[in-house]
Amino acid sequence: MSLLLEIISAHRQGQPVGIYSVCSANEHVLRAAFAQARRYATPLLIESTSNQVDQFGGYTGMTPLQFRSYVLRLAEEEGFDAAGLLLGGDHLGPNAWQHLPAAEAMGFAAELIRSYVAAGFEKIHLDCSMACADDPRRLPDETVAERSVLLAVIAEQAALDAGLAPPVYVIGTEVPIPGGEASLGAGLAVTTPAAAACTLAVHARAFAAHGLQAAWQRVIAMVVQPGVDFDHSQIQHYRPAAAAELSRFVAAQIDPPKLVFEAHSTDYQTEAAMHALVRDHFAILKVGPAVTFALREAWFALAAIERELIPFGRQSQLPAVLEQRMLAEPKHWLKHYSGSPAEQHLLRAYALSDRCRYYWGDAAVSAALDKLIANLERQAIPLPLLSQFLPEQFDAVLAGELAAQPRALAQHKVGMVLARYARACSRNVSRETES
C-alpha cells in the first residue's frame, strides 16, 4: 500500500507519474504485464473485477485468495519482485447480484468485500453505482455513497481481523459498466466539476457519519468520465480541452489530500492521449479488453500461419472452435451483440469489446489453443510468414529481441499495448507534449 500511496502523493506534488491497472486474469496477459513492468521499472497493479473473481469463484473459478496465489505464482515464474506487485478489486459491490433486491444484493457484496480484503487486496473500488431489482433506474448520489460506506465499514473490519494494513479506496457515482462497452452514439459527455463536487461531498458526509474519518484519508481516487470510451467498433479519444475544468477541479482538492481521478475504459487510446490523461490528473489508467483483444489478434495470426504450414487434419482450427463454443454458450455475448447473423459473427471474433475473452478458459477452446502452440513449437515459423501475419514481432525477431515461438510472439503483441501505459505512467520516461 505504501507504494501506491507514494505514487499518488508524488503525482499530487507535481511529478508526471501515474499507475496503470491491468484488469485481466489471462495468464498470457499477466506474463506480458510482468515483462513490461520489469522493462520500464514500474510497479504492477493487477485488478480483478467482481465478475472475474468473487467468493463463489466468478467466471474464472477463483476466489480472491486463489487469484492472489495464482498471480504470485506467475510473478515468481517470471522473476518479478513481489514487492512491486499491487492487487486491487474492481467494481466491488452488488454488480453481480443486480437482479436481486438491494438488501439481499448488498449482503452478497459485503461478503465479496470481506473476501477481497482478507486475501490481502490493497486497492478497493467501492462501486455501488448500479441499481438493484427494487431500486429506481438511476440511484441518487446519496444512496450510492451510503452503500459504498457500508462496504467500507466491512473492509476496515476485515483488514483489522486479518491483521493487515487497511486498504485504500476508490469511489465514484459516474462509473462505466464493468468491461466498458458504452454505446458511443453522438459521444459521451465529460463529468462536470459540479457533479464531481457533489460525489465528493456526499461521500465525505457518509464516511464521517459512520466514523470513518481515517478511512476517508485513504480515498485516493474518484472514478469520473473524462470523455474516453469505446464500443464494439468505435473509440472516443481523449480531448484535453473538454476535460480542462474537471482537471482543474481535482487539482484544487485538499480533502482527501492525495485524491486523483481514475480513468476507466482507456483501452485503445493513443499513447499521446495516455500521457495527457496522466498530466491532467487522471493518474490511474485502467486497461482490460484492449490487452485480450491484442492477444486474440496474436492467436488468430498464429492460426493463419498454422494453416500455411500444417496439413488440414492436424490443424488446431482455433478460430472455428472459438466460434463454435461462443455459439454453444452465448451468455457472454448474446445480449451485447445485436444485428444480423453476419454482423454478430464479425462481432464475436473482432469487436473491440472482445467478448471472446470469456471463452479462453473453455475446455475445447483451451485444447485448440494448446494444439496450435504445440504445432508451431514443432514446426519452425518461416520469417516470410512471420512478416506477413505478425510484422511488428517480425521486426523484434530480426533485432534479436524475441524468439519466434508462439507464446513469446503472443505475449510480445500484448506487451506492446501495455508498454504504452508503462511509458505514460513512468517517471523514468520523458513526456510527450499534448495540446
pLDDT tens digit string along 277-324? Answer: 999 999 999 999 999 999 999 999 999 999 999 999 999 999 999 999
pLDDT higher than threshold 60 for residue 435: no
Rama region for 272: left / alpha / beta (φ>0; ψ in -120 to 50; rest): alpha
This prediction has a pTM of: 0.95
Rounded to an integer, what is the distance from CA 376 to the centroid of its chain?
A: 30
Q: What's the pLDDT tens digit per position in 358-371?
A: 999 999 999 999 99
Q: What's the pLDDT tens digit per position in 94-111?
A: 999 999 999 999 999 999
Instruction: Give pLDDT, residue 50.
Output: 95
Q: Which domains does the chain have, with CATH numbers?
A: 2-288+421-425 (3.20.20.70), 292-420 (1.10.400.20)
**317 closest CA partner among 362, 375, 357:** 375
Rama region for 92: left / alpha / beta (φ>0; ψ in -120 to 50; rest): beta
Name the pLDDT band for 184 (thresholds 50, 70, 90).
low
Average pLDDT score over residue span 81-105: 97
Alpha-carbon gap, residue 403 to 53, rounded angstroms: 33
pLDDT higher than threshold 90 for residue 41: yes
Buried-exposed string 146-179: b where 16+ CB fall within 10 A, e elsewhere: bbbbbbbbbbbebbeeeebebbbbbbbbbbbebb
Cell 521499472, located at residue: 41
Strands (E), 159-241: 168-171, 219-223, 229-230, 235-236
pLDDT higher than threshold 90 for residue 273: yes
> Is-contact 333 59, C-beta < 8 A?
no
Cell 482538492, located at residue: 253
Cell of 354: 472482445
